[in-house]
Amino acid sequence: MMAFTLELDDDQVTVRDWLHGFAAEVIRPAAAEWDEREETPWPVIQEAARLGIYSLDFYAQQYADPSGLGIPIAMEELFWGDAGIGLSLVGTTLAAVSVLANGTDEQIGTWVPQMFGTPDDVKVAAFCSSEPDAGSDVSAMRTRAVYDEAKDEWVIDGTKTWATNGGIAGVHVVVATVDPALGARGQASLVIPPNTPGLSQGQKFRKHGIRASHTAEVVLDGVRVPGHCLLGGREKLEERLARARERAAAESRGDAGQRGRNAAMATFEASRPAVGAQAVGIARAAYEVALDYARTRVQFGRPIIDNQGIAFTLADMRTRIDAARLLVWRASWMAANNRPFTAAEGSMSKLYAGETAKWVTAQAMQILGGNGFTREYPVERMHRDAAIYTIFEGTSEIQRLVIARTLSGLPIR
Ligand SMILES: Cc1cc2nc3c(=O)[nH]c(=O)nc-3n(C[C@H](O)[C@H](O)[C@H](O)COP(=O)(O)OP(=O)(O)OC[C@H]3O[C@@H](n4cnc5c(N)ncnc54)[C@H](O)[C@@H]3O)c2cc1C
């Protein structure tokens, strides 16, 4: 186990500064344009791929950092640059992580490199779980995958919604129900290879924020994929379903424990600090603009920061940002060092960082006055971007639910 420290080592400082330079020189200048265009910023992704920032190798190296801080440091810097472009740069990792977590070595080797493509031919990938009637409640999922034994193919039908990169991705990873009676435990993830007939993009959403990131419905109409596209393989799926049936039977007898559920929760929890780190990046960016503005904007013959009302707000902004980062780093270190989240520390970090980003960006707008409300200054965009951080990857209410259940051990609803 690696001891927790706030001192970054030389490698971490080098990566942080490198990404900061990319965020300042490439992402920031492009942010307003792609926000207005509401399109995927392909030239920025291509440049990131050319430099090795948009690549499997880069993310694998950050994940391998034994301190756990490689990913949160990278996320904070990229999203300090711009959240919409940041999400276009990291959206692929959602799909990649689902293959890394559930796939066989062969599936990982086949699909994950294809998700990123090459610097000359960059690709993005999509992870499709949410549905119109199954957002927070994943057990309500209707998309169905049925195995066609004769052809060794899975047939998938349903409609996914809110998918980041949905429809423009090469590889899509889709979560589908294979045994509806088992609810969330009867689901499996399948890879849909590029250009598979039956998969199409539905509505592309016009959004409040992170508009440089593509979000769309994905329609699956009789999609057929080879048997080897089931992540983890059939044998593992059958074993898992058998265990789930036993557990369901035990629960109906009233003698089931919480262990299975907690194991699944631990996996989700581990990815949440990375999302929290993105929120920290947005909050830090808005705070810096506000601090700078408060020092230079003169009203009543003195800089507005001379007023306690402004200075104390900035003090609170900075305090909350630092607290959010500490929660993110703690959870990231715990996840990397296999420490159990006994107090839902992963959810805590995402909850606090997401709420902090929303609050800090709102304060920044207020400090900039009329300018804060215009698109001449970036805090208006940052505030719109921050709003998603209390919604996706588990809403703030769902994080509180997870924390409360973990602390109490009770099935709080
Ligand atoms: C820009 C964007 C990108 C996204 N990217 C992806 C993606 O790539 N892949 C993917 O699969 N999904 C993605 N999502 C979906 C996202 O994860 C969901 O929007 C989120 O999980 C919430 O689901 P919902 O929108 O259906 O809200 P609902 O679940 O309908 O919730 C509505 C409200 O009710 C509250 N609520 C629900 N249940 C409870 C409860 N038990 N207790 C208290 N309050 C409750 C919620 O907190 C929320 O405030 C994305 C969404 C957006 C907007």
Q: Is the CB of 135 under 6 A from ligand 1?
A: yes
For residue 4, is it within any domain? no
- Based on the structure, what is the number of domains in the chain? 3
Run of H or E residues at 178 = none
Q: How far apart are the first and last CA of the chain?
A: 36
- Cα 131 to averaged position of ligand 1 atoms, centre (Å): 10
The per-residue pLDDT for range 129-146, each reduced to its tens digit, is: 999 999 999 999 999 999
Atom nearest to 166 CA in ligand 1: 8
For residue 413, is it within any domain? no
Protein residue with least CA distance to atom 36, ligand 1: 397
Q: Which domain holds residue 40?
A: 10-122
Say yes or no: 37 and 81 in one domain: yes
For residue 175, is it within any domain? yes
Q: Is the pLDDT of residue 258 over 90?
A: no
Protein residue with least CA distance to atom 41, ligand 1: 413
Q: What pLDDT was estimated at residue 256? A: 55
Please report which confidence band the pLDDT of residue 265 belongs to, taking 50, 70 and 90 as the band edges.
Answer: low
Q: What is the CATH number of the domain that holds 17?
A: 1.10.540.10
Burial (CB count within 10 angstroms: exposed 0-12, middle 13-18, buried 19+), residue 16: middle
For residue 1, is it within any domain? no
Task: Name the residue of 162, 206, 390 to mutate for ligand 1: max ligand atoms within 8 A of Cβ.
Answer: 162
Say yes or no: 218 and 319 in one domain: no
- Average pLDDT of span 8-30: 98
Q: What's the chain's length in residues?
A: 413
188 beta partners: 176
Say yes or no: 90 and 143 in one domain: no
Say yes or no: 84 and 212 in one domain: no
Protein residue with least CA distance to atom 24, ligand 1: 135
Say yes or no: 194 and 215 in one domain: yes
Domain termination residue (choose one: 205, 224, 252): 252
Which two structure tokens, joined as six digits, stand for 124? Answer: 């993005």
Protein residue with least CA distance to atom 11, ligand 1: 129
Q: Is the CB of 256 under 6 A from ligand 1?
A: no
Domain termination residue (choose one: 252, 267, 292): 252
Q: What is the CATH number of the domain that holds 201?
A: 2.40.110.10
Q: What is the Cα Rg of the chain in Å?
A: 22
Say yes or no: 188 and 297 in one domain: no
Q: Which of the two residues, 1 and 375, has the higher pLDDT score?
A: 375
Which two structure tokens, joined as six digits, stand for 77? Answer: 């810097």
For residue 272, is it within any domain? yes
Q: Residue 2 gets which letter from DSSP?
A: P
- In whole angstroms, what is the distance from residue 135 CA to residue 147 CA? 25
Q: Which of the two residues, 291 and 259, has the higher pLDDT score?
A: 291
Q: Residue 221 gets which letter from DSSP?
A: E
Please identify which of the residues 47, 217, 345, 393 carries the catalytic annotation: 393
In the chain, what's the furthest Cα-to-Cα distance? 82
- Cα 393 to averaged position of ligand 1 atoms, centre (Å): 7
Q: How far is CA 217 from CA 95, 129, 131, in A?
A: 16, 11, 9
Q: What pLDDT was estimated at residue 262? A: 43
Task: Name the residue of 350, 391, 405 to mutate for ligand 1: max ligand atoms within 8 A of Cβ.
Answer: 391
Q: Is the CB of 191 under 6 A from ligand 1?
A: no
Which two structure tokens, joined as six digits, stand for 79? Answer: 């999203």
117 beta partners: 122
- In whole angstroms, what is the distance from residue 48 CA to residue 91 CA? 14
Say yes or no: 135 and 244 in one domain: yes
For residue 389, is it within any domain? yes
Say yes or no: 92 and 222 in one domain: no
The per-residue pLDDT for range 345-375, each reduced to its tens digit, is: 999 999 999 999 999 999 999 999 999 999 9
Q: Is the pLDDT of residue 260 over 50?
A: no
Q: Is the CB of 389 under 6 A from ligand 1?
A: no
Protein residue with least CA distance to atom 12, ligand 1: 130
Say yes or no: 264 and 395 in one domain: yes
Please report which confidence band the pLDDT of residue 271 belongs to, taking 50, 70 and 90 as the band edges.
Answer: confident
- Cα 26 to averaged position of ligand 1 atoms, centre (Å): 31
Those residues whose C-beta lies under 8 Å from the C-beta of residue 21, and which sit 6 or more positions away, are: none
Atom nearest to 213 CA in ligand 1: 1
Run of H or E residues at 199 = strand 199-204
Say yes or no: 293 and 241 in one domain: no
Run of H or E residues at 100 = helix 83-102
Question: Helices (DSSP H) in 174-233: which residue ranges?
Answer: none
Say yes or no: 198 and 269 in one domain: no
Say yes or no: 264 and 366 in one domain: yes
The per-residue pLDDT for range 223-237, each reduced to its tens digit, is: 999 999 999 999 999
Q: What is the CATH number of the domain that holds 392?
A: 1.20.140.10
Average pLDDT value over all residues in the chain: 95
Domain termination residue (choose one: 234, 252, 270): 252
Which two structure tokens, joined as six digits, stand for 397? Answer: 């209410």
Q: What pLDDT was estimated at residue 3? A: 94
- In whole angstroms, what is the distance from residue 104 CA to residue 112 CA? 11
Task: Name the residue of 136, 399, 410 to mutate for ligand 1: max ligand atoms within 8 A of Cβ.
Answer: 136
Protein residue with least CA distance to atom 4, ligand 1: 162
- In whole angstroms, what is the distance from residue 381 CA to residue 86 CA? 13
Q: Is the pLDDT of residue 327 over 70?
A: yes
Protein residue with least CA distance to atom 2, ligand 1: 162
- In whole angstroms, what is the distance from residue 186 CA to residue 73 CA? 36
- Cα 65 to averaged position of ligand 1 atoms, centre (Å): 31
- Average pLDDT of span 174-188: 95
Residue in the structure block whose two tokens are 């990938």: 125
- Average pLDDT of span 167-194: 96
Q: Is the CB of 136 under 6 A from ligand 1?
A: yes
Which two structure tokens, joined as six digits, stand for 26? Answer: 């490439």
The closest alpha carbon to 384, from 409, 406, 358, belongs to 358
Active site residue 376: no
The strand pair at 172-177 and 126-128 is best described as parallel
- Cα 388 to averaged position of ligand 1 atoms, centre (Å): 10
For residue 2, is it within any domain? no
For residue 5, is it within any domain? no
Those residues whose C-beta lies under 8 Å from the C-beta of residue 294, and which sit 6 or more positions away, are: 303, 304, 305, 310, 311, 314, 367
Atom nearest to 205 CA in ligand 1: 1
The closest alpha carbon to 82, from 14, 32, 12, belongs to 32
The per-residue pLDDT for range 87-140, each reduced to its tens digit, is: 999 999 999 999 999 999 999 999 999 999 999 999 999 999 999 999 999 999
